[in-house]
């Protein structure tokens, strides 16, 4: 009994080991297959992505080339249209210039014909009247302009006078008017002249070694006049200034 049980247990354990070994082998095989499939899938994805990028690049290059070609064609068409418009404009301009030249030649010829024809008496009188009328109108305009200028100047003068009178009235009302200082100045000048006249040095006649003769009046008068002239010559600058101040004070009093 015991031997049969041991044999059965050995058989079961050996079968379990074989099953375990087989399962491990199967698992390793499946893992290898999975890794191989994953690697192949990754490779296929990379290849397909590379092909897709290459196709997209080719498509983008083609689209860019098509766009550049279309832009070049548009530029060429625009240039051609511009040249066509410029040609039409040049032709129209030339036609206009030619027509204007014809008109100017025709007008010049007509004017020359008119100038070559002598003016009649009636036309000359009419031209003279027109010139006279224009001169009168110009003279009238000049006169009106001068009158307006004179009126403007008079109005400005009146306005200035009114402003000055208003300012004087305001100064008089506020007590800020100009004070009369001339009487004070004249009084101070008179006082200074009087003081200078009182303090001036008195001139003395020069001493004569020879006594004057009573019988010779002419010689005495001559000596007196010479003494006076010498005294005037011997006056100092201060005396001359004092005499000038006296004369100024006298003239101020008289005024």
Q: Which of 187, 196, 178, 167 is nearest to 253 (CA)?
A: 187
**Tokens representing 91?**
């032709």
**155 has a pLDDT exceeding 80:** no
Map out the domains of the chain as residue ranges: 1-114
Cα dihedral: 36, 40, 43, 49 (round 10)? -140
**What CA–CA distance (Å, rounded) separates 100 from 96?**
6
Residues 6+ apart with CB under 8 A from 230: 206
More reliable by pLDDT, 110 or 173: 110
pLDDT value at residue 124: 81
**112 has a pLDDT exceeding 60:** yes
Mean pLDDT value of segment 174-196: 63
Name the 3-class secondary structure at 132. Answer: helix
Percent of the residues in the chain that have a pLDDT greater than 90, as a whole number: 0
- Mean pLDDT over each residue of the chain, to the nearest integer: 72
């Amino acid at each position: 009994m015991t031997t049969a049980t041991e044999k059965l247990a050995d058989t079961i354990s050996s079968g379990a080991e074989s099953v375990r070994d087989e399962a491990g082998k199967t698992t390793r095989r499946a893992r290898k297959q999975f890794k191989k499939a994953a690697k192949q899938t990754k490779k296929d994805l990379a290849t397909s992505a590379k092909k897709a990028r290459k196709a997209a690049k080719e498509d983008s290059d083609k689209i860019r080339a098509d766009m550049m070609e279309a832009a070049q064609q548009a530029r060429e068409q625009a240039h051609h249209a511009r040249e066509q418009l410029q040609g039409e404009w040049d032709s129209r301009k030339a036609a206009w210039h030619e027509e204007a030249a014809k008109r100017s030649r025709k007008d010049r010829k007509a004017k020359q014909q008119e100038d070559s024809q002598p003016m009649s008496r009636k036309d000359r009188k009419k031209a003279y009247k027109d010139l006279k009328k224009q001169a009168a109108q110009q003279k009238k305009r000049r006169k009106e302009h001068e009158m307006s200028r004179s009126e403007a100047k008079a109005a400005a003068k009146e306005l200035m006078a009114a402003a000055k009178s208003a300012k004087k009235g305001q100064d008089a009302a506020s007590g800020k008017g100009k004070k009369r200082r001339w009487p004070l100045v004249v009084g101070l000048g008179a006082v200074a002249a009087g003081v200078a006249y009182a303090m001036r040095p008195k001139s003395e006649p020069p001493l004569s070694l020879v006594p004057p003769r009573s019988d010779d009046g002419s010689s005495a008068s001559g000596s007196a006049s010479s003494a006076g002239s010498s005294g005037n010559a011997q006056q100092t600058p201060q005396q001359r200034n004092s005499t000038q101040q006296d004369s100024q004070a006298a003239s101020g009093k008289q005024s």
